[in-house]
Structure 1
Amino acid sequence: MTEMSLTESVAIQGGALGSDAAGRRPRGPKNWRPFMLLIPAFVVVAAFFLAPLIDVFIRSVTDPEPGLQNYEWLFTTKANLAVIWRTFATSIVVTAVCLVLAYPYAYLMTIVSDRTRNLMQLFIMMPLWTSILVRTLAWMVLLQDTGPINGLLAAWFGIGPIPLIRTTFGVGLGMSQVLLPFMVLPLYSSMAKIDKRLLPAAANLGAPPITRFFTVYLPLSRPGIFSGGVTVFILALGFFIIPSLLGSSKEAMISALIQQQISVFLMWGQGTALGVFLLLCTIVILVVVSRFNKGGSLFPGVDR
């Protein structure tokens, strides 16, 4: 390489580096003032959420004495295992019932007129404006042996009285009615984003209705199914009022066991161990479902 060509190449490289450096803006000190606005929120979360969680965990391993005896009690007592199994089984059944009832309702909301859709949304939102205790007391009136449901069964079909209250059926019915809106809203949010031209396009290609549903519509509505299912299932795990009022000791769930250990027996260590176990189950469920729901968000109406 000659001296001239070497000089030209160095000049070209120097010019490129100079233009690149000129295009870059010098980095100045970061402005942390916007983040200062988040300090009150962090303080509130730390004071009213993180601190109690830390206290609960510490109590679970230190009360009445340091060690893991509370967790050993949790997993070695048959009554506790039965309550845990009942809680998860009831939550799964309630989630499945809500999905079966909410899916066609949410789909219908996407194809009706705006006025009818607003009316259907009002029917879904109205129960959320009523206290859960009031709704549970109303179910107690309806489901009792001398209530309106058994009265209608006896008058129309000559059946009854059928035990509806203090049963697993009554608990599941009350929980499904309360949690149904939490399944409908995520499903509708997901279905509203589906292109309505896809199903006619699949029909033009010769796909029958069942094939169109299972290969086109159902996969596209999967984010709503996941988000609604997770929301309903996690809320069902912590229900206390409905199982206590509509059920009996045979329908007791983890929340009732926590209340019994802390309020009745004053066994804070065992009660907090149950709470930590329930929290860890919730975290594991969220992690597992997020792995399967890679194409969507677990939060209704929020895209990744």
Structure 2
Amino acid sequence: MSVMPITRRAFFRGRPTSSREYGPAISLLLVTPLLLLLLGGFLYPIGGLFWGSIFAPEATPKHYLRILQEPLYLLILWRTFEIAFLVTVVALLLGYPVALAMARVSGRAAMLIAACVLIPLWTSVLVRSYAWIVLLQRNGVINNTLQETGLTQAPLQMLYTQGAVVAAMTQVLLPFMVLPIYSVLRTVPDDLPKAARNLGAGSLLAFLHVTLPLSLPGVTAGVLITFILSLGFYITPALVGGPGTLMMSTLIGQQTTELLNWPFAGALSAVLLLATLLLVVVFRRALALNGGFKLG
């Protein structure tokens, strides 16, 4: 008895149609709402802001020259990238062990760790920023505790400092570092580190040569997400930082809401966006060359 070969079309006959079998017209129709939302909610306002910084009435490229010529704006730009870098490094150092614990434990312990990571995402950033003010102010919880225990004689200046901004932003953005790393670590088989230890490697060497390299895609995603979000953070630096730690987002907000200088705000936004894109491209390129893999 002969058996007819099962073709791909015959195998999938009667089954739900795959998205790959949709024609170009139907595929374009399906993504049209998302494209319209992207155009109306992102590209149009951003493009209008950039256009107004150069071609609007009474607007010339002098705004970009002003950014390059006045040291204050270059200092704020540098401080923005410095704080974003520090927040990313601290979030990585704190978030990786948490993600590793989430991926290795099970049961109630895993649920407890996941709750500690996810519950802050359900709390307003404004509320969490005010909580840091309560903790760090001169008569706050930390200063009162230090004075009552005799460790300090007078209140310490902790609020409106760069350290306060880094700590508050790290606490807010920590879940964005933990979740991508956890999503990759949970796919790493437990047999691989065990095999490394059976071959004579210690726990540290097994982690450095097996677990850490396999988790690099999650680390890269978490680093990029945290760094990019840090560059545009507005509420927390404005409340916890003060004038001494002014960042680009706060400066742009002042130019639009207080000074009504929209062309200059557009120039600041364009410089920040271009600098961010340049760093992301360099970061991806460096990973592709040194890490042996590419994102996406």
TM beyond 0.5: yes
Measure the CA separation in 2 of the matches of 1:296 and 1:138. Answer: 41
1:226–1:289 Cα contact (<8 Å) kept = no
Would the alpha carbon gap of residues 55 and 31 (structure 1) be closer, same or farther in structure 2, given more than 3 Å must change? closer
Give CA-to-partner distance per residue, 1:167-216, whole Å, 9 cap, x none: 11111111011000000101111111112112221122222333222222
> Quick one: which amino acid aligns to residue 208 of structure 1?
G
Alignment correspondent of 2:116: 123
2:188–2:214 Cα contact (<8 Å) kept = yes
Alignment of 1:164-243 (within 5 A): 164-243=158-237
In structure 2, list runs of 5 or more residues that go unmatched.
Answer: 1-22
Measure the CA separation in 1 of the matches of 2:162 and 2:254. Answer: 20
Alignment of 1:1-304 (within 5 A): 32-63=25-56, 65=58, 67-159=60-152, 160-294=154-288, 304=296
The percent of aligned pairs where both chains have the same amino acid is: 40
Would the alpha carbon gap of residues 296 and 128 (structure 1) be closer, same or farther in structure 2, given more than 3 Å must change? farther
The aligned length equals 270
- Which structure: larger Rg? 1
Measure the CA separation in 2 of the matches of 1:296 and 1:108. Answer: 25
Measure the CA separation in 1 of the matches of 2:211 and 2:38. Answer: 40
> Quick one: which amino acid aligns to residue 213 of structure 2?
P
Once the two structures are TM-superposed, the CA of residue 127 in structure 1 deviates from its matched residue by 0.7
Give CA-to-partner distance per residue, 1:278-302, whole Å, 9 cap, x none: 222232233233334446675xxxx
Measure the CA separation in 1 of the matches of 2:105 and 2:94. Answer: 18
245-254 or 107-116, larger mean C-alpha shift: 107-116
Q: Secondary structure at the match of 2:149?
A: helix
Give CA-to-partner distance per residue, 1:87-136, whole Å, 9 cap, x none: 01011011111011011111111111132212211111111111111111
2:77–2:272 Cα contact (<8 Å) kept = no
1:243–1:252 Cα contact (<8 Å) kept = yes
201-210 or 138-147, larger mean C-alpha shift: 201-210
* TM-score (normalizing by structure 2): 0.85
* TM-score (normalizing by structure 1): 0.83
Measure the CA separation in 1 of the matches of 2:206 and 2:275. Answer: 36
Once the two structures are TM-superposed, the CA of residue 38 in structure 1 deviates from its matched residue by 2.5
In structure 1, list runs of 5 or more residues that go unmatched.
Answer: 1-29, 299-303
